[in-house]
Structure 1
Amino acid sequence: MKPKNKTNKTGILLLAAALSLGSAVSAFAADGGAAPPSSGPGAVLSMGTSPALGQVPIGGGSYFEVRNVSMLPDSGSKTVTFTLTVTNGGSSELLFIDYWVRLKTKSGNDLSVRVLPQDKDKNRISPKSSQDISFYATVNEATELNDLIFQLIKWDFSQPNFERALGEIPVPDDYNIVAKAGESQTIQMAGNPVKTTVKKVLLGKNEKNYTPTVVLTVQNTGSRSSAVPSYQYLLRTAGGDMYPLEAKGIKDLVINPKTDKDIELSGSVPVSVFTEGWQLVIVQNAADLKLNLPIAFYELPSVTDPDNVDSGKEYTFTNEKGTYTTQLNAVQRLPWEDQDILTARLTLSDKGPESLPIPDFAGYFMLDDNVKVEAKLIRTDNVIGLAPGASTQIQFIGKIPYTYEFGKVKLVLQEKKGSDGGSSGSGTAAQTTILLEFVHRSEMMNMTYNNVGETFKSTGVGRSASYSVRGVTTYSGDTEDMFAVQMEVTNLEKRFSDVTKLVAQFKTSDGTVYPAAVSEIKNKISPNGKVILMLSSPVPRSFPTSGMHVMIGEAVTEDKLTAGDKKPDAYVNAAAFWLPQESYSVKPDLMDLDLTPYKLSINHINTWLDQQGVGLKFNYELSKDLLMQTNTDGRKLVIGLEDEKGQIKFTREFDFKDFEGATPQNPGTGSGTPSGTTDDKDKIKLGKVENFEIKVNDRNLIFFVETLKNYKLNIYDSFQGHKKLLASKKIQWFEPTD
């Protein structure tokens, strides 16, 4: 019996080791499809250089060292990462499969630990060498770093629990992972050391937000070129709140050995937040794990006063008509196809006692006092003059290559004059006179960023409106996905108004820009009325959308806002919205399904099978938010039935455009006006309907009747031929549900 017991113990030991290691790699299968190599499935994940905690000897001059312990809050939990350096001081190969690291809390709770995908095959450590193996774990949001204890074990089947404790390393109370202001943090970018330091912090302010700009210096101290991954950059306040920052100019950024690069990070923080104690946090999205992993933490230095920035200051000029007051509100650099748009927004005011006409303006940009960029005047407000105390907005836009870099930009504001001294409209040879010059710095050219849940208000004369992100959805396709944002727009005018035509673009954390189509609303919107605009773009399959934002701007054609069917050639008054996390949960029931602006509930489901084919019958209720308009082009409700053995499978599509028609005739208590036509009976419409039927004619299906046990009823939201599964309910064949 002893050999048998030994065999059993050995088998149990190997099984335990396999389960432990297997749990570390079971989540590493990629979702498939194309994705940017720096952020998609299979990307090499970075690690920071937090202080070492301690060592545990394992004999023969070999030891384990725990390093790089970090923690990041993430959606109701926290993610812990750490590195275990395995040093083999012996003369023979060391196998890590003989060992393991456990993580527990000081209160005795055991935590599941897994190996990062890139390190799952690191098992053999050669003599007189070291190997880094990185791990991650998810803990509850109440757990702090100093609650953790690392326990090193060796598998040993001679022990009652098949393991032998080698030592423990607790996280001390004073453990600090945040670099002091001015200190550097080294990040291992795909194994190459890169030193990072916060160089300076600039801080702007508007009526509702601070607009910080953090300049991060990245220096490659390694021996090979390093591509900067698509990190996500966050500003963490003293209260622990996180606000995303956009990194400028990082798309395809490669830093060569012994060189450095400044990366500008900008975003928005509410003015109600205390500005002391801010930190910069760098995280990386692990698409395989569906987690954000902490990389580095920095204490921010004191704010640097920007030099030669004229935004927000009032200046006056005088012509033969009177004295005007002008203020530069913002200068922005915006993506546009294979170029960038330079746009400057000014407010022109009349602070005198008499009305003034609008001058005939012209202007241009001067970059670094050397490169002239022609600018076009855009008048977005429909005004013909300025009454005393009134003001209006004007815009100037120019275009430059998106790869061109500069430090200073100057807007030169001019007035056009005819040869006879009158306005340019009365003369034949127009001349210009310089009125004012406004100077701005490139690192302060921040777009208005709206954090998740915030609303942006556009205050243009005659087109005041508010914009907010209602939700995001990824619709799956066979070769590509469709990413869509539902943008809620509210008319703030006191009269019926058209929805301003928008230009929209999605921007990823690595700087990739995807132009987005914007659904069109042709009806005028009532005062305080709302519409839902669908902003959408095809993206690669399994595309990581974490850290994305959407930019919108008022579409411009030639020198005015785009109207009718004209094609935009630029945009102004741009704003950006950080996007909320998308919910990928699938409801196990079919009640209260969100089909914005509709809501659908399905119950009393039953099936039958006869010599003609198979049938599905159910009751439904479809309701709508009557205060909201939307364009339903391309949207469909898809109902699919799938037998668990794959013997019977079918789907039916129902166009959203048909939802608004009359309720189909039915023998139950459906509301609405009965139609009675065959076509109407096959459509889903607003109201309550009983005994709605879907039939599939197939005489061969009757032969499966003896083997049918369960099926799934799946409900999809479909857009432009792509689908998202909303709900899936497992049901027994031929047994009606409640």
Structure 2
Amino acid sequence: MKNLRNTYSVVLVGSLVISQLSGYTVSAASTASGVSVYPSPAISAVTASATSKLGSIKLGSNFQATLEDVNIWPQAGGNILTYTLNYTNGSNSNENLLHYFSRVITPTGSVIPGNPITGDVLKKKVISKGNLRVTYYVNIGTTNSLKGLKIPMYVWDAKVKGYLRQVGSFKLPTNYSPTVAIGKSLNTTMNDLPVTSYTESLQIYEYSGKVYAKVGVSLTNKGDKILEDPGYMVYLVSAGGTSFEMVLDSAQASYKIQPQEKKIVYYITEIPAYLNTNNMKLQFVQKDETLKLALPKSSYNLPAATNPDLIVEKDVVKKIMINNNMIETQLNNATVYEENKKGMWSFQLRLRNTGNKAVKMPSYDLAVKSPIGKAFPVNAKDLNGLVINPLEEKIIQFEVQVPLEVQQDTLQLQMVEAVSTVDSQSSTAENKAVIVKPVLPIAYYNIPYNLRTNTLTGYEYHATNSYGSFVYNLLSLQRFPWMEDDIVVAKLRIINTQSVTLSLPEMKGALKIDYDDLKASTEIFMDKQSVVLAPGKSVDVNVLAKIPYTTDFNHMQVSLYSVADEQTVPFLTLSTNSTMDAINTIDHGGIFRITDQGKNATIQEKMTVVHHGVSSNIVSTELLISNEERRQSKMVRLHAYYKTTNGEFYEATSNQPEAALSPGGKQLITFSSKLPKSVNTSDLSLYMGSGITGNKLSEPGQEATGFINIASLALNSYTPSTNLAQVTLYPYTLSIHSSNGRLQEGSDSIKIDVNYNLFRDGSYDTGTSNHKLMLKMTDPYGQSQEKALALGTDLTEGHNNTISLSFSNDRYKSLNGGTYRLTLYDEIQGERIELASQEYSLTYEELPEMEK
């Protein structure tokens, strides 16, 4: 028994030594793209279909081997033949493969032992009632045909000469071809999993002066585990035997196929323009790093080559397959306008995932291309890497500038796979090779030529973007004064017309007037803080910017956008002319309404007076604001300008209480401004609106950066009263019932007692007043003296009060009667207006005779 074991070892070692024929990795010539091309002897072609089972040989009573998948791959160091034996063990004990051997006999009579490939070298045992596939390789030298090849099988037998007993021989059918015929499928294995495969298509692309081939292969995983990319080298082989290394297309960096799932895998390569594409085949090759050999796997005859139609007409949906998920694409909403001798293009790309899995978009290069080949790059950052969930739809906005020298009505959006590199599967650890992936065009979308039309006020327009669908309209376009400048305000309304909520981004605004871009100084104000609109709900958006008041313009562009990852994401862009809408006018005594969220209020004029001075006049307007909210609220800070009949504006200084108002509560607000004496004050109006600070309404005490919702308030002219029966100085009302003036004989003083009522209206708050009440007494000589009276102190609140006043003058010593006049003035900043006046009799009191 010991001698048997030693003899067995010698024979086995001898078999291994004989099988170690020389071979080396094939060196590759490269095309311009880096795709490896292998000129090699043509393998004899036959027309019959390939089969996975080529007969069985009985090796024992319940043990047999079935020949499968015989393939040959030409290499400079000798053509490599591979074949797979599927061992089936029907016995009740394990079988050791060390007792069984196979050889290959070439047509010239050479006998070459077959050795397991590295991945199968450890497969030594076939378990009871099991089966095991082992793939063997043989270097058959210059033999380039399978015709006449035999594969005999041997069993270890110590009783026969040479210790090997032949139990049978596989002889390939005369019509056998390792290549799967067109329209036929192959049942094979990948990663030890059963797979059904066949070719789907061969497409030829021409782009940028180069020619590319794209092959689609259908793989169905028949196993019970996930099939991962086995990492095979893939070659496109011409009828003349020239091979071109292929790589996965850009939509598939690798692939995984679930059990029972079917996927179409695409490979691409660059080929010479002169290459005949008839009778081409696809060859899978497995690289064995240990053996330094490329081992042939399955191969397939390819159908006739076709040229894909990549042109996408207007409104047509283009379907793109990405990782076996269908993505619908469509070019929409293309518009153009002229600026600085360029066509300013804007368009959208709609993408919808109709598959069952989330898809991450591969990288593309986008460009707008003219018929004469000029291409203008389009930023594709929002598209590349975009993740689209099943049944989800995404809309991406693009903008590009095209010089007017280029014909604008025949442009196309060109979608091309982005340039990328991948390690060549044919490279070695010592000699790494990098392939530049072929760049294939995906689609050429014809861009409709639509001139951007002006948006008109009062009309509704439909829009769709990445956030959803909505209706918008331009409510107004207005221009107001602001300090030394003007403010231009475009007011938009956005209405959610979807049956689901519309989520708005954190929007910013940009105004452009003619060619002047005001993006840096544009502010935006929305009347709702919530960024989610329920179906049917709307939001008003004010987009405003400051311009020099002397600026005239003919055209305005309004843009809303958001910023994500430091990139601008357009939301809405519209164009309009420079026609300004009229300011809302409120008649005398009318009510100005504030409808801003949380700040609802009504405002009504109480009184406007003009304080006439020597070199200037001061106009002052008192307004009563009422809180219309159902909660305590601070009122919005009002900002205002006085406008004269000849169109001049004067900024008004406000005096507005800072305290919050209860529901229904009221406050007194005062505006005043100093006007030149030459200004006609007979027909002033007050331009008034809600102040804003950034994207919020200003509150009293805050510095406003602009104002919105402007109205022109027609002011009432004030006429002084002819008596002192009722004089209003908000919040006070003064009623002088009588005045008793007395002059004692020989005295230089007139003493006056004034009987009055003074009431304060406590229903509203007031700010700190800078008004003064001045009392002027005009004596019988026509000379006047004045006194300042402080309401609430000098004049106390209440009914039937009396204040005593005294006025002195040496001339009064000779006065013996007459009349005097009391006149009340409202004084502000040194200028005053007459409120009321009334004349009274002066009582002369003679002294008794004895005193004389």
Give TM-score, length-normalised by structure 1. 0.49
- The structure with the largest alpha-carbon Rg is 2
Give the TM-score of the pair, scaled to structure 2.
0.43
Structure scoring higher RCO (CA < 8 A, sep ≥ 6) equals 1
